[in-house]
Structure 1
Amino acid sequence: MELSNNIQFSIILPVRNGGEYVKECAKSILSQTYGNFNFIVLDNCSTDGTAEWLESLNDPRIVIYRSDKSLSIEENWARTVGVPKNEFITLIGHDDVLESNYLEVMEKLIKKYPDASLFQTHFNLIDSQSKVIRPSRPMQAVEDAESFLTSIMTKRFDIVGTGFLMRSADYDKLGGIPDYPGLLFADYELWLNLTKIGYKVTAEEVCFSFRIHQSATTTSSDKKIQDAFERFVKYLQDVQASGPEYRNVILENGEAFLLSECKAMCHRLLRTPRQNGTTELSVKNTVDTFVGYAKRLIPGKPFDPMKESSIKLAALIDKSKLGRNLFLMFKKMYSKPVLK
């Protein structure tokens, strides 16, 4: 694929009330050693001065699109498709941080692999105080769609929303990030669809930090997570039908993938206080739902989550209000994982 000598980038930040984190994020963007980029901000009616602070920087690279009404997170991120963008784009969360050489490394990566459709670097996971928790797990330098699907289903590397870079034309052609509830699991679909256009490449350098903190893991409701995963299962069914190589990956890895997600959702349910006697989101119902997923994705293969001791224990605890309350009380006093 022919490339211009002077590659132009757009770094896109959808944000609502970014607080102090957005200042660190923005400063990391504006300190890039590669200068040919603009910084597009999709401000979603921030009330904490986020847009005003960005405007006060008086930096011509910053382009702010304010929403005239309050939007959902899905609606605000969807605006990415409609705004003018440079040839290559990357999207960033307001609490994540780029290293100053991120675009410089990406420019070299694009020129080395001009036919790739998805680009990434290695990264660090950081906490709310910007301290490094750990580096990302190693990734292959080159992955096709089949390999990337295997990575998703086996969780052999860390997949986060920040740090991926793609062509604006590809992003727009796909319709942008899919409209999943809360955008949960939407990244998986988008990245896989992009790798099906070409392939994914990853630089060995560590060029950004992805923040892990309480608000990133607990604000989404259990129902929203389950609804989003339901959509992802439907997407995987479509992927299966698109080629035998994808069907084989899902058949080979589907049991372990579904068991892992079922376990995570069951344990999350125990950590969430039951509201108004709601019984729809119970461990038992979740297990039954995943058994249904297995029939759709890996038909004919045995799938019994209750054979997993921690899921079985979660189901026993979840049977009674007393059991759930005791579990929550114990979790408050004991910070280490209770169910493994």
Structure 2
Amino acid sequence: MNYQFSVILPVRNGGTYVKECVNSVLAQTYPNFNLIVLDNNSTDGTKEWIASLKSEKIIIYPSNNDLTIEDNWARAVEVPKNEFMTLIGHDDILLLDYLETMNCLINENPNASLYQTHFKYIDASGGVVRDCQPMVKIQSVTDFINCQFLRTLDSTGTGYLFRSKDFEVLGGMPISYPNLIFADYELWIKLCMISCKVTSPDFCFSYRLHNSVSRHTNGEDYQQAFKKYLKLLISLRENSDIKKAIDENGIIFLTYFCQSLSHRILKTPVTIRKITVNQFVKECIELSRDFIPQHLFKPYYKIQILAAILLDNKFGRVLYRLFKKIKLL
């Protein structure tokens, strides 16, 4: 069966990268698709360039006002779409056979609710940084969460494909996450809960590591998004399979992010954050009581977390920045 696909591209001022992205979509060997562009009032000619292509496959939904990244992505729920859809970042690239591979994957696994292929990470100039970690063909939601907890899964906002009706029933990308950090994980989990995730062994897209929001977001936004995601996982403990995954590996996940976000908060200027490192760690302890009630979460026993707490003062932050510079030499 030949399915109909929609590729959704939210963009603001995509520059050179969006041209490479759009051309990779239009070059697909599989013909049954359209490209839906959600242009966020671009001022660099992005919308005009895409319109100049005069492709019957392209549908542009412009915005006459500047939208937040969250509000622009939210429009994906409202626009008419084909039966299956995928979201793509404006600096990412689909290989020629991405949709062809997805069509075959759906025909082989029609009952799955989430589809993906393997992919490569590329740098700003398009050079390959590395392959994604290998993925098994079929993953339940428990498998998916366990892989996330153990960091044996590379997951991005690009490359997943799913039914448009499921996306709409779930309300689309959850936009209450600051800068959409962890928002895609919530969406993938909820889609995976419908049935399962199926992955092709083929490498069919490239994800660009270039000024991504999550890499440059300050600690304030990141920790707010993390706490929201943790509360989602707590609510999902009602599912016995998800509860099992959380009970087994949730403490690893919580410890990792408590440490990494403590350091991110430490690097964030105090003028643009509302929380100290120690306050964040205490909030993690409080959330752990509902997240992993059978475990005693002891972040103060982790030297990296304790060091971040002790350095979270004017003198300590100077020392921390100096240490980071020395490490780069």
**Equivalent residue for 2:288?**
294
1:312 to 306, 317, 321: 306
Counterpart among 218, 230, 233 of residue 230 in structure 2: 233
Distance 1:329-1:289 versus aligned 2 partners, 3 A rule: same
Give secondary structure in 2 for the equivalent of 1:138: coil
Aligned residue-pair number: 328
Match of 1:331 among 316, 324, 327: 324
Match of 1:188 in 2: 185
Query: What is the CA-CA distance between 1:333 and the residue it aligns to?
Result: 4.5
For 1:153, give the aligned amino acid: F
**CA deviation digits over 1:247-299, x for unaligned, max 9?**
121111111110001111011123223327x6x42221111111111111111
Q: Is 2:66 aligned against 1:70?
A: yes
Q: Is the 8 A contact 2:27 2:96 kept in 1?
A: yes
Could you report, residue by residue, the CA deviation over 1:162-211 in whole angstroms, capped at 9, with x for unpaired residues?
00000101111111011222111111111111111111000001111111
In structure 1, which of residues 172, 197, 210 is the aligned counterpart of residue 194 of structure 2?
Answer: 197
SS in 1 for 2:121: strand
Gaps of at least 5 residues in structure 2 are none
Q: Could you list the runs of 4 or more consecutive aligned residues of structure 1 that deviate by over 3 angstroms after TM superposition? A: 214-219
Distance 1:215 1:246, change over 3 A: closer
1:220 is matched with which residue? 217
Match of 1:101 among 97, 102, 108: 97
- Deviation (angstroms), 1:56: 0.9
Cα deviations across residues 47-71 of structure 1 (Å, max 9, x unaligned)?
Answer: 1110001011111111000012211
C-alpha distance 56-333 of structure 1, shift in aligned 2 (>3 A): farther
Gap runs ≥5 in structure 1: none
> How many angstroms does 1:103 deviate by?
0.5
| SS of match in other structure, 1:7 | coil
The structural deviation recorded for 1:128 is 1.4
> Are the aligned partners of 1:32 and 1:100 in contact in 2 as well (CA < 8 Å)?
yes
AA paired with 2:229? F
Q: Identity rate of aligned residues, in percent?
A: 47
| Partner SS, residue 191 of structure 1 | helix
Does residue 17 in structure 1 map to residue 10 in structure 2? no
Q: Which residue of 1 aligns with 2:206?
A: 209
Partners of 1:157 and 1:167 in 2: CA distance: 22
Deviation of 1:215 after TM superposition, in Å, equals 4.2
Cα distance in 1, alignment partners of residues 322 and 124 from structure 2: 25
SS of residue matched to 1:81: coil
Q: How far off is 1:213 after superposition?
A: 2.5
Distance 1:223 1:315 in 2: 16
Q: What code does the residue aligned with 2:163 have?
A: R
Structure-2 separation of matches of 1:215 and 1:145: 26
Conserved in 2, the CA contact under 8 Å of 1:123 and 1:207? yes
Q: How does the TM-score come out when normalised to structure 1? A: 0.93
Distance across 2 between alignment mates of 1:300 and 1:143: 26
